[in-house]
């Protein structure tokens, strides 16, 4: 049996980056993502965010890839949210997402960062955060 631990930090936004999630909706969606992921053997170590986006730490197994896992989580969670929560308009996620590998040594700091999204976004917009990620990880758009 292979022993694999591939940690991924993924971030995705609501459709058109609209601030559709209040705290209650965001918490419900995050909770649902954890439950759904478990049912599909997707290992979500943490998920949290703000009104217009979510951060997630995933641990991929040998038979999983980022694209498939992200499509499952995003697709099913938007379907669930529209059936179970109330929004000003139809809820959905943007097609794109951000995903980078994470080292075990950086996991505690990343968990703290994700857990403190509410405080973090009092000082910084999602666009500012996004721009910093793109620069930090040298991702060309």
pLDDT of residue 80: 98
Cα separation, 139 vs 12, whole angstroms? 15
Cα separation, 35 vs 115, whole angstroms? 18
Q: Which residues contact 64 (CB under 8 A, 6 or more apart)?
A: 42
pLDDT of 44 strictly over 90: yes
Give me the mean pLDDT over the 1-25 stretch: 95
pLDDT digits (tens, 9 = 90+) for 62-110: 999 999 999 999 999 999 999 999 999 999 999 999 999 999 999 999 9
Give me the mean pLDDT over the 130-141 stretch: 89
Domains of the chain: 6-136 (3.30.70.1290)
pLDDT of 2 strictly over 90: no
């Amino acid at each position: 049996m292979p022993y694999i631990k591939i940690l991924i930090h993924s971030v995705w936004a609501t459709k058109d980056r609209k601030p559709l999630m209040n705290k209650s909706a965001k918490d419900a969606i995050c909770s649902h993502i954890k439950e759904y992921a478990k049912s599909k053997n997707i290992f979500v170590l943490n998920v949290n965010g703000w009104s217009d986006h979510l951060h997630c730490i995933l641990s991929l197994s040998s038979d999983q890839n980022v694209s498939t896992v992200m499509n499952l989580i995003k697709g099913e969670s938007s379907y669930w949210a529209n059936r179970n929560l109330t929004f000003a308009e139809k809820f959905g996620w943007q097609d794109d997402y951000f995903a980078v590998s994470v080292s075990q040594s950086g996991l505690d700091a990343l968990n703290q960062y994700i857990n403190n999204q509410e405080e973090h976004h009092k000082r910084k917009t999602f666009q500012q955060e996004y721009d910093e990620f793109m620069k930090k990880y040298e991702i060309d758009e």
